[in-house]
């Protein structure tokens, strides 16, 4: 436990000292929420039962945040550490690899939890969105989403060959997913083909789960299908990570 806490403190310091990482995975979702909320935050979304635009957007950007932080940011961070030889050196220290990865994952969980709190407070202060009533369900959803997308990040990092190409590959994965899954607007206006793609993406179900909890005050266990699909994607990512995750730099 002492090694874990020491590494966790180190991971937090490294994250907040990395200005680019902190900006694009923590600050940028907040900026997107404020900008889009200023555009249509006071409108009513008819296709979603006249839900206030800022309330609808809040749940969507919570989804974008978990994809940006736990999937995009973590995958790039791991590839850079691997190619710089940092992960290889970790295996030569007394710190067990499992403890190292646990500290990394908990650090990402802390970051996303803080981001979720910041988004909810911004929504309350700027757009008068009500605070969530199902706090325990919201916390469980945050943990579920972070761990599932982090598992996918571990898998994705094993498929990326170089640090130079990591940003391009990761952005090509999570940015289209964020748009198609409805992070910023309702998917009801999408063509049928895009809606079919959205129906298989994990982020779609995480956003639906967030909207149910944040907007409709539904408990997380009332949406077992969404929970199961998110968990299944996380389990799939874990299986791939166990086969493809690398601690040493890749050749070529």
Token pair, residue 250, equals: 């890749």
> CA separation (Å) from 89 to 80, 82, 97, 138?
13, 9, 11, 37
3-class SS at 44?
strand
Higher pLDDT, 251 or 122: 122
Specify the range with the lowest mean pLDDT, choosing from 53-62, 72-81, 153-162, 184-193. 184-193
Report H helices in the chain: 2-17, 19-22, 28-40, 53-66, 74-83, 86-90, 97-127, 135-159, 166-180, 192-198, 202-214, 224-244
* Lowest-confidence pick of 5-9, 36-40, 49-53, 110-114: 49-53
Residue with tokens 């940015």: 175
Residue 68 is predicted with a pLDDT of 94
Q: Alpha carbon of 47 to those of 50, 53, 88, 242: distances in Å? A: 7, 11, 51, 42
Among residues 50, 93, 79, the alpha carbon closest in space to that of 246 is found at 79
CB count in 10 Å sphere of residue 42: 12
- For residues 39, 130, 145, 170, the Cα torsion angle rounded to the nearest 10 degrees is 10
Q: Which of 102, 31, 29 is nearest to 64 (CA)?
A: 29
pTM of the model: 0.93
DSSP 8-state symbol, 190: S
Instruction: Quick: pLDDT tens for 177-207.
Output: 999 998 988 777 788 888 899 999 999 999 9
Rounded-to-integer distance, Cα 109 and Cα 153, Å: 13
Q: Which of 39-43, 74-78, 227-231 has the lowest mean pLDDT?
A: 39-43
What is the per-residue pLDDT across 83-112, written as a single tens digit (0 to 9) for each? 999 999 988 888 899 999 999 999 999 999
């Amino acid at each position: 436990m002492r090694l874990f806490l020491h590494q966790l403190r180190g991971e937090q310091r490294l994250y907040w000292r990395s200005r680019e990482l902190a900006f694009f995975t923590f600050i940028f979702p907040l900026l997107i929420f404020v900008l889009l909320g200023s555009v249509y935050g006071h409108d009513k979304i008819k296709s979603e039962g006249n839900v206030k635009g800022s309330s609808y957007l809040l749940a969507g950007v919570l989804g974008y945040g978990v994809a940006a932080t736990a999937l995009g940011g973590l995958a790039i961070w791991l590839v850079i550490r691997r190619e710089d030889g940092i992960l290889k050196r970790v295996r030569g220290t007394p710190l067990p690899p499992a403890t190292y990865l646990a500290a990394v994952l908990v650090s990402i969980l802390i970051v996303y939890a803080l981001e979720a709190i910041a988004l909810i407070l911004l929504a309350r202060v700027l757009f008068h969105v009500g605070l969530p009533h199902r706090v325990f369900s919201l916390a469980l959803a945050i943990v579920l989403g972070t761990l599932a997308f982090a598992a996918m990040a571990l898998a994705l990092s094993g498929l990326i060959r170089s640090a130079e190409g990591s940003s391009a590959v990761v952005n090509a994965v999570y940015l289209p997913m964020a748009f198609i899954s409805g992070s910023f607007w309702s998917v009801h206006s999408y063509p049928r083909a895009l809606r079919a793609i959205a129906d298989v993406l994990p982020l779609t179900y995480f956003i639906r789960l967030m909207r149910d909890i944040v907007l409709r005050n539904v408990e997380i266990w009332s949406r077992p299908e969404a929970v199961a699909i998110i968990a299944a994607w996380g389990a799939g990512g874990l299986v791939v990570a166990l086969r493809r995750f690398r601690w040493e730099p890749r050749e070529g």
